[in-house]
Amino acid sequence: MTRHLTLIFLCIFALKSSCFSKEKISSNSGNSIKNEKKSLVQKKLSVKSTQNLLEQADAIKFSYPDSAISMYQYSISESIKLKDSLTWIQSLIGLSNLYAHNGHFGHSYDGYWEALGIAEKIDDDLSKVNIYNGLGWLYSFYERDNLSNDYFNKALEITKANGKISPKVLVDNYYAIATLARKRNEYEKARAYLDSCLITKELHPDLLQEGNAFIDAEYGYIYYEDEEYEAALKTLLPLNKYFTEEQHSYLVIFHYFIGNIYQELHQYKEAEKYYRSAISAGLKHKSHSDLFPLIYEELSKVLTKSNRYKEAYKMLKISKDLNEKQFGSRNISNKRFMEIKDQFRKKQQQQKELLQQQELQRLKQESKINYLRNLIFYVTIGGLVLVVFFVYRNLRNKYKAKQLLFIEKQRFEKEKIKEVLEIKNKELTSSVLQIIQHEETLAEIKKELVEQKKNPDPNQINKLAKKINLNTNNNWKEFEARFVEVNENFYKELNERFPKLTQGDQKICALIKLNFDSKGMSKLLGISTESVHTTRYRLRKKLGLSRQDNLEEFISQIG
């Protein structure tokens, strides 16, 4: 049985070794744990430092754009080293936003899409919203309004679906869609989304602290587009102080619109002043460069109407040069450039998705193989367990059968021995009874001979009595021989345990073994019943029995 079990377990071990490779687990010492903790602390400090750097870049991006670009780039590099995906995305978004304001639309385009890929991997909704908004603004610069609108709406959907995103982001989404609608001359839609901005702010009082300057400015621009110039100025001019002091880089747009209004009102000096202020703010902050060609073009018109043709020509030339330098954000050929870039990106995306699908298929195939391998392994293990179980049960049943057979055989032999003993004991008892009868007959003869001693020859009678006694002794010897034949270990065990017993004591023990009562003993031994009782009493003492002990049971257990 042991050999069978050993063989089965060796098979299981061999199968497991063939299906699964061994894995090595390395334990770290106390020093390595300390080093890990130290490295973790350093990493946390580095992450904090990178985040601080990103915040500084955001703060100076319109004041010192070149420095901000360097800081964004360094933040990107460090976040990649630290595997800090969120800071990496935020840095890419900030850098792309700054590139868009500075007219580096290609770099901005690449940065936004790189950030979107990372954001989708980590599934960060807020990052996706910011990226989609950035792409919406970028495509609006190229007058690809449908795509721009799609990205703004994607950002809005995510913001509404995710209840954890700040309401401020929702306001920004509404504002972006309103601005695009105004550019597309969809003024009612623009007003509706601007109203949504105000409603959202009213529902969240903490947002009211920031004021509504940008929203109010958009209302003013709509008044301008509707040719309600006085209403436009009435709305915009009170905001001039706020933008000049708090959001100076926004003056590029703000003063551009005020300049347009004054131009329509034929107040050319005021128009020129605001156009030049817009250019000055743009040059200072290197922002909203997509508007520069339009601003210079409108300034050229104002100068022409003021009969300053030389300056007007100069402004117009700058406008054309800037338009070419920036690849013409409103030029048909550059729209085509963006379309080609989109197609290239989509093709890359399709190739990437194809590779991912192939990888997914490969992983599924491996998963199926592993599943089948595991299934085969566990089925085999189950089969071997069943085999072990049935082999064990079979061996156990055989062992039990052998045990039962041995027990039955022993019981049969004991019964046979018992039967033989009973037969022998019956024979012995019968022999004893014959001896008793013989003894009684001899006793009567002896008695008669003693009575007749007076008349017959006394010597002859004495001889006869001696002969009778001799026969009696011989009969007892014959009894002992037959008793020992049946109970061969009785005298041996009795002598070993109680060596001080006399021959008479041993005779009493033998008769007790044969269940003789006191009367039968007295007749057999030729003594009185009282003598038998006395002998039994002495025998109990020699055997060390108390009154509670049964003499017959004690004797029956010997031999």
Contacts within 8 Å (CB) and 24+ apart, 129-137: 129/155, 129/158, 129/159, 129/165, 129/169, 129/173, 130/93, 130/155, 130/169, 131/89, 131/93, 132/158, 133/172, 133/173, 133/176, 134/93, 134/96, 134/97, 134/100, 134/108, 136/176, 136/180, 137/100, 137/176
Q: What angle do CA 553, 556, 559 make, to 5 degrees?
A: 145
pLDDT for res 512: 85
SS3 333: helix
Q: Is 34's pLDDT higher than 60? A: no
What span, in angstroms and rounded, lies between the C-alpha atoms of 32 and 26? 12
pLDDT for res 36: 53
Q: What single-letter amino acid sits at 228?
A: E
> Tokens 């964004």 belong to which residue?
72
Domain assignment present for 132: no
Domain assignment present for 545: yes
Which of 123, 145, 163 is at the close of a domain? 123
pLDDT class of 157 with cuts at 50, 70, 90: very high
> Tokens 């959001």 belong to which residue?
247
Who wins on pLDDT, 523 or 277? 277
Who wins on pLDDT, 422 or 513? 513
Domain assignment present for 63: yes
What span, in angstroms and rounded, lies between the C-alpha atoms of 171 and 156? 10
Tens digit of each residue's pLDDT (9 = 90 or more) over 373-404: 999 999 999 999 999 999 998 998 988 888 88
- Please compute the mean of the pLDDT values over residues 456-463 and round it to a whole number: 65
Distance of CA 477 to the CA centre of its chain: 91
- Mean pLDDT, rounded, of the chain: 80
Helices then strands, counting H and E runs in the chain, come out as 23, 0
pTM of the model: 0.53
Q: CATH code at 79?
A: 1.25.40.10
Q: Are the CB atoms for 282 and 276 separated by under 8 Å?
A: no
pLDDT class of 321 with cuts at 50, 70, 90: confident
Domain assignment present for 336: no
Who wins on pLDDT, 78 or 489? 78
> DSSP H helical segments within 142-250, as ranges?
145-161, 167-183, 187-203, 213-225, 229-236, 240-246
B/e letters for 318-356, b = 16+ CB within 10 Å, e = fewer, are: bbeebbeebbbbebeebbebbeeeeeeeeeeeeeeeeee
Backbone phi and psi for residue 191, each to the nearest 5 degrees, phi listed first: -65, -40
Q: Are the CB atoms for 4 and 390 separated by under 8 Å?
A: no
Hey, what are 320's tokens? Answer: 């054309």
CA atoms within 13 A on the CB side of 429: 13
Tens digit of each residue's pLDDT (9 = 90 or more) over 417-426: 777 677 666 6
- Range of the structural domain that residue 541 is part of: 445-556
Domain assignment present for 148: no
Domain assignment present for 546: yes
pLDDT for res 301: 92
Q: Is 25's pLDDT higher than 90? A: no
> Tokens 């049935």 belong to which residue?
390
Q: Is 181's pLDDT higher than 50? A: yes
Tens digit of each residue's pLDDT (9 = 90 or more) over 262-296: 999 999 999 999 999 999 998 888 888 778 899 99
Who wins on pLDDT, 406 or 444? 406
What span, in angstroms and rounded, lies between the C-alpha atoms of 345 and 56? 32
Q: Which of 122-131, 139-148, 437-446 has the highest mean pLDDT?
A: 122-131
Backbone phi and psi for residue 529, each to the nearest 5 degrees, phi listed first: -65, -35
Q: Is 151's pLDDT higher than 50? A: yes
pLDDT for res 513: 82
pLDDT for res 459: 67
Q: What single-letter amino acid sits at 316?
A: L
E strand or H helix at 542, and its extent? helix 529-543
Tens digit of each residue's pLDDT (9 = 90 or more) over 200-258: 888 888 877 677 889 999 999 999 999 999 999 999 999 999 999 888 888 999 999 99
Q: Are the CB atoms for 428 and 483 separated by under 8 Å?
A: yes
pLDDT class of 461 with cuts at 50, 70, 90: low
Nearest to 381 by CA among 1, 21, 11: 11
pLDDT class of 195 with cuts at 50, 70, 90: very high
Among the residue ranges 57-71, 333-347, 448-462, the one predicted with the least confidence is: 333-347
Domain assignment present for 328: no
pLDDT class of 434 with cuts at 50, 70, 90: low
Domain assignment present for 218: no
What span, in angstroms and rounded, lies between the C-alpha atoms of 517 and 514? 9
> Tokens 């008769």 belong to which residue?
511
Q: Are the CB atoms for 152 and 173 separated by under 8 Å?
A: yes
**DSSP one-letter code for 64:** S
What is the phi-psi region of residue 501: left when phi exceeds 0, alpha when psi lies from -120 to 50, beta otherwise? beta
Q: Is 362's pLDDT higher than 80? A: yes
Hey, what are 115's tokens? Answer: 């950030």
> DSSP H helical segments within 308-331, as ranges?
309-325
Total structural domains within the chain: 2
Q: Are the CB atoms for 557 and 497 separated by under 8 Å?
A: no
Q: Is 171's pLDDT higher than 50? A: yes
Nearest to 341 by CA among 99, 116, 142, 98: 142
pLDDT for res 104: 81
Which of 123, 139, 155 is at the close of a domain? 123
Who wins on pLDDT, 362 or 297? 297
Q: Are the CB atoms for 127 and 119 separated by under 8 Å?
A: yes
Q: Is 351's pLDDT higher than 70? A: no
SS3 116: helix
CB burial class (10 A; 0-12, 13-18, 19+) of residue 291? buried
B/e letters for 26-50, b = 16+ CB within 10 Å, e = fewer, are: eeeeeeeeeeeeeeeeeeeeebeeb
What span, in angstroms and rounded, lies between the C-alpha atoms of 300 and 260? 12
Q: Is 16's pLDDT higher than 50? A: no
pLDDT for res 384: 92
> Rounded to the nearest 10 degrees, what angle do helices 187-203 and 167-183 cross at?
170
Backbone phi and psi for residue 186, each to the nearest 5 degrees, phi listed first: -95, 75
pLDDT class of 330 with cuts at 50, 70, 90: very low
Tens digit of each residue's pLDDT (9 = 90 or more) over 111-128: 998 998 899 899 999 999
Terminal Cα-to-Cα distance of the chain (whole angstroms): 40
Which of 66, 91, 123 is at the close of a domain? 123
SS3 161: helix
Tens digit of each residue's pLDDT (9 = 90 or more) over 35-92: 554 454 454 556 678 888 888 988 888 778 888 899 999 999 998 988 888 999 999 9
Q: Is 444's pLDDT higher than 50? A: yes
pLDDT for res 467: 55
Q: Is 504's pLDDT higher than 70? A: yes
pLDDT class of 21 with cuts at 50, 70, 90: very low
